[in-house]
Amino acid sequence: MQKSHINDLNTHFLVVSYHSIIKSSIKQILKNNDFHNYLFARNGHEALRIIQSHENKVEFIISDWDMPIINGIELLKKIKNDPELFMLPFMLLSKYWSVELRQIYAIEEDADIFMTIPFKETDVINNLLNCLNNFKHLTYEKKMLKKMIHNKLNNNYMEVLNLGVQLSKRDLSAKASILTGESLYHLEKYDQAKQVLKKSLSKEKNSKAYDLLGKIYSKQGDSKESLKNFKMAQERNPLNISRSINLAREYLLQGKIRMAFELVNDILKSKPTYLDLINIANLYLGMGYLDEAYKILKILDPINDTAQVFYICCVKLWQKGARKSTLSLLSRCINKLPQNHLFLYYLGIIFLKKEKFLLANKYIMKALKINPNYEPAKRGMAYLKKIDPKFGLFREAP
């Protein structure tokens, strides 16, 4: 075994799958090849908790695609869109179902390795070792792309453009073109962004580029071109439900309500994931369709990553006067996420509005205990102290 491969044996793996047979198979393959550092997670949500806790070292992710709550492709997207995690090598495993479309989706989201199930031990190890070697010996273009991605994820869009100019001397790759187009979009340089993206699409079709062009044309008020490009994005990558959701949003913006609802109904019939449903609810909330959002959220359980959507729904329900629905959703959120400050704070505010000051003090104090820097809770407590200076001391209501 080469010296570089011997060093790779210390790599710390996180194996993510809901299926015990997949986890045991990967474990045996790693063990057979003298890899002994590995952790396991049942789904993407659990994997993110392990990674974000920093209690265990994670240097390589091997993830199954099909899992509840957060699946493999959704975990990949979260990892590759995190400025601290995007350089983690990621192997995505998929069943043969829609394998060609899944491969397109995986490539667009920057999976480092895509493999089908069942897999051979030699293929897993060879891909794994090649990936580790590639990460240690980045080409010039990959080093530049790494810098571009890091700056984009940290909203340093001008630096992304500067790096893109350097790369353009060698002709921009599809990835570099999209990064440049995204940065120009955020800097509101729409015509330049369109030029870069169209040139990229003339070489290689990519749903990200079409989707971004749809957003640009929408910003410029060109309804025909925006719909055309959103549809092209959906056709290029039909498994990426966010493409369909963006198309539905554009239909709503253009007043094509029936077409939007038909599209969403098609999504709902296609066995959407938990996060797909959350994104649909978020779409409805953003476009003013509160009842439709509530119908979805009331059958889902919140997790910390999605708490904000549930919180916004609670606020809007209360503002609408739907007291019973608000308290029902809020109580379930507190029951599922007792350590989330958002729901405790808002329950405190509801009691404050009802002039039940002891209960308001209790729940706002609980929120501040969890997140002492949460400004709305600090303002709520300041208001309570004006009513009674003794508030601010944690005490149970009778």
Query: What pLDDT does residue 5 have?
Result: 64
Residue 164 counted as domain residue: yes
* Same domain assignment for residues 54 and 177: no
Residue 234 counted as domain residue: no
Query: What pLDDT does residue 391 have?
Result: 83
Query: What pLDDT does residue 167 have?
Result: 82
Query: What pLDDT does residue 397 have?
Result: 45
Q: Classify residue 35 as exposed, middle or buried by CB count within 10 Å of its CB (0-12, 13-18, 19+).
A: buried
Mean pLDDT, the chain cut into blocks of 10 residues (398 residues total)? 65 96 96 94 96 91 96 97 96 90 95 95 96 91 94 96 84 87 97 95 94 98 97 97 97 97 95 96 97 97 96 97 96 96 96 94 95 95 89 56
* Same domain assignment for residues 128 and 157: no
Full residue range of the structural domain in which residue 116 is found: 3-136
* Same domain assignment for residues 124 and 47: yes
Residue 171 counted as domain residue: yes
* Same domain assignment for residues 7 and 131: yes
Residue 178 counted as domain residue: yes
Question: Quick check: pTM over 0.95?
Answer: no
Rounded to 5°, the CA angle 353-356-359 comes to 110
SS3 33: coil
Task: Give the alpha-carbon dihedral of 242, 245, 247, 248, to 10 degrees.
Answer: 180
Residue 272 counted as domain residue: no
* Same domain assignment for residues 27 and 96: yes
* Same domain assignment for residues 62 and 81: yes
Q: Could you tell me which of 41, 38, 52, 29 has the C-alpha nearest to residue 10?
A: 38
Cβ proximity of 357 and 389 under 8 Å: no
> Looking at the 3D structure of the chain, how many domains does it have?
2
Residue 152 neighbours by CB under 8 Å, 6+ apart: 160, 179, 182, 183
Strand blocks (E) in the chain: 13-16, 38-41, 60-64, 90-94, 113-116
* Same domain assignment for residues 127 and 144: no
Residue 87 neighbours by CB under 8 Å, 6+ apart: 135, 146
Domain final residue pick, 136, 152, 175: 136
Residue 115 counted as domain residue: yes
Report the CATH number that the domain containing residue 131 is assigned in CATH.
Answer: 3.40.50.2300
* Same domain assignment for residues 109 and 181: no
- Number of helices followed by number of strands (H, E) in the chain: 21, 5
Q: In what order do the strands lie in the sheet with 13-16?
A: 38-41, 13-16, 60-64, 90-94, 113-116
* Same domain assignment for residues 108 and 195: no
* Same domain assignment for residues 65 and 105: yes
Domain final residue pick, 180, 204, 228: 204
Domain final residue pick, 94, 119, 136: 136
Report the CATH number that the domain containing residue 181 is assigned in CATH.
Answer: 1.25.40
Residue 321 counted as domain residue: no
* Same domain assignment for residues 98 and 157: no
* Same domain assignment for residues 62 and 85: yes
Residue 337 counted as domain residue: no
